[in-house]
Amino acid sequence: MSGSATVSDLTGCPATVELTVSAADSCGNNAAVCTAEIDVQDVIAPVIAAVADDVVVDTGCTASVPFSATITDNCCVSPGSLDLVVTVQNAANVTAGTPVVSSVTPISANEIEIEGTVDVSNVTACPASVTLAFNAKDCCGNSAVEVTDDADVADNAAPVVTCANVTFPSDAGFCTASVLLTASALDNCAGATAVSYYANLDANPDYETLISNPYVFSQGITEVQARSTDNCSNTGTCDFTVTVQDINKAKVTVVLEGVTIPTTRCISFVPLLSGGPCVQNALVNELSFVDHDSNPATPVRAVDVLVDIPCGDYESLCAKDEQHTLSDSHVILINGAIYEAVADHVLLGGDTDDDDDIDINDVTLLLAQFGTLSSSGGCPWDGTRDSDFSNNGARSTEDYVFLSDNWLEFRNCCAGNGWPLVAPPPSAQPVVPAVTLDGQPIRTRRYSIGVVELSPTLVPADLTGDGVVDFKDVKRFETINGLPHVLSTRIQIDEQQAKSAEGKARTSP
């Protein structure tokens, strides 16, 4: 006798089936019952099909790699009857976490599907990838063939480059500037990244010229592009301009001799070229003069101020308040990117017409303006004449002291201090042949001026009414205002000496 029995829905191993066999003959006689226990085995392994999806990291250099797998088995198909393991087999140029299975879903009687993710971060180079390994055992311990799949992890974000337009004066002694560029770059994965610089130069437009940093830029505007490339060949850029001005910076201290009241003055600076002529295109700087030592008797000054001068190679620098003072020149030396004057520029008040001397023209102005309020000349100076040398707001006896102290002082930015060998007289006065005084060549000096040469506002300076403004008018002014006859005496004596020198020059063979 033979036969068979069908079994199904194996839920575990070992599995057994007990068969009972009974028999009876035709007369109804029953044989003894026979039982048999039959082992039921499952030797078929599950089959896995799996996939891991490619991802792109975000701005924080992180991403979640999705994965899924389908497991098919002849017997153990319920979620609780399969032993499934997902692991990271390899992580190339990226950091990977532990895979997390988020769902197990039956698909059919013999099939289930799992889904999950694994977090990745810190891409250090490209290409970057994660290899996931999928393993499964059914309820009878049959192991599936391991399945792996690679997920590419891409970084497509370029570094963010930050830059700004910059402006620099030329370096002292040159009309160029060595500029240290300071653009920065930040990458989502690599953090701070290196920056290279490319410039639009005449021969190479479109940012084709790689430049060093620092780089010596020519005067004017240069277009520059900052570039940064991360480990995945993503390049970020930022365009900016570098402007080099046609000026040098000079550190100076300027003293207004005799002025004790803080003020703001318009000061022009004239540089002297090394081995060359005096530069005439002076630059004007508005400076604030302060009480630097809390001593009301010392003059106010602008201390260690940076002023603008035309760019170039210079050996000295001249300073002047064109409305009020004579000039003063001193050697300047290069210190780093700037010039520095070796001594203070001390400006003597009294020159009201910007002709480099203090003579009868300046005295005439004070006599005519005395007792009135001062006048601003703007910055740059607009030519307005003013005899308020003391800066107290009015033309008064304090201003007389400047003229008496500095009478006939001559200081010229280009010719230096002292009377020059050649200097043109004011257009209104006749040219007198050059003569010598004390054996030195002198320029034409003016000790008096006719009323016919004066503007109507200056005619009141003729206090004696004799048609000429000279030492006699100054003496009358001093008497009226209770002043010592210092200035009138100096004018009279100097005029007599000059006439004597001229007379000797004319009678000499």
Domain boundaries of the chain, sorted by first residue: 47-154, 160-244, 247-507
Place of tokens 């290409």: 127
Q: At 223, which amino acid appears?
A: E
Ranges of residues in the chain with a pLDDT under 50 are 419-443
C-alpha torsion 473→477→483→484, nearest 10 = 10
Return d(Cα 439, Cα 497) in angstroms, integer: 12
Return d(Cα 153, Cα 126) in angstroms, integer: 8
What does DSSP say about strands 111-121 and 95-96: parallel, antiparallel, or unpaired? Answer: antiparallel
Return d(Cα 279, Cα 316) in angstroms, integer: 11
What does DSSP say about strands 328-335 and 15-21: parallel, antiparallel, or unpaired? Answer: unpaired
Q: 238 near 225, Cβ under 8 Å? A: yes
* Residue 468 to residues 193, 426, 462, 475, 493, Cα–Cα distance (Å): 80, 17, 6, 13, 17
Residue 333 is predicted with a pLDDT of 96
Angle at which helices 486-507 and 360-369 cross, to 10°: 150
* Residue 18 to residues 4, 12, 34, 414, 460, Cα–Cα distance (Å): 12, 16, 11, 128, 146
User: Comparing 47-154 with 160-244, is the CATH topology the same?
Assistant: yes
Return d(Cα 192, Cα 185) in angstroms, integer: 6
Residue 433 is predicted with a pLDDT of 41
Return d(Cα 310, Cα 175) in angstroms, integer: 9
Give Dmax (Cα) for the chain: 188
Q: Is the dihedral of CA 455, 457, 460, 465 positive or negative?
A: positive
Residue 8 is predicted with a pLDDT of 59
Show Cβ contacts of residue 305 under 8 Å, excluding neighbours closer than 6 positions: 251, 252, 253, 254, 285, 287
Show Cβ contacts of residue 232 under 8 Å, excluding neighbours closer than 6 positions: 123, 125, 126, 128, 154, 155, 156, 189
Long-range contacts of 3-7 (CB under 8 A, 24+ apart): 5/38, 7/40
ω into residue 159 within 30 of 0, thus cis?
no
Return d(Cα 166, Cα 226) in angstroms, integer: 13
Task: Report residue 32 as tokens.
Answer: 């003894």
* Residue 2 to residues 5, 21, 30, 50, 472, Cα–Cα distance (Å): 11, 11, 18, 45, 161
pTM for this structure?
0.76
Residue 206 is predicted with a pLDDT of 83
Identify the DSSP state of 214.
S
Q: 379 near 266, Cβ under 8 Å? A: yes
Q: What are phi and psi of 133, to 5 degrees?
A: -110, 135
Continuous segment of H or E residues that includes residue 310: strand 301-310
* Residue 497 to residues 101, 190, 405, 490, 492, Cα–Cα distance (Å): 113, 85, 19, 11, 9
Residue 154 is predicted with a pLDDT of 96
Q: 94 near 135, Cβ under 8 Å? A: no
| CATH-assigned architecture of domain 160-244 | Sandwich (2.60)
Residue 505 is predicted with a pLDDT of 59
Around 189, how many Cα atoms within 13 Å sit in the side-chain half-sphere? 29
Return d(Cα 156, Cα 92) in angstroms, integer: 17
CATH top-level class of 47-154: mainly beta
Identify the DSSP state of 8.
-
In 3D space, the residue among 492, 499, 361 whose CA is nearest the CA of residue 432 turns out to be 499
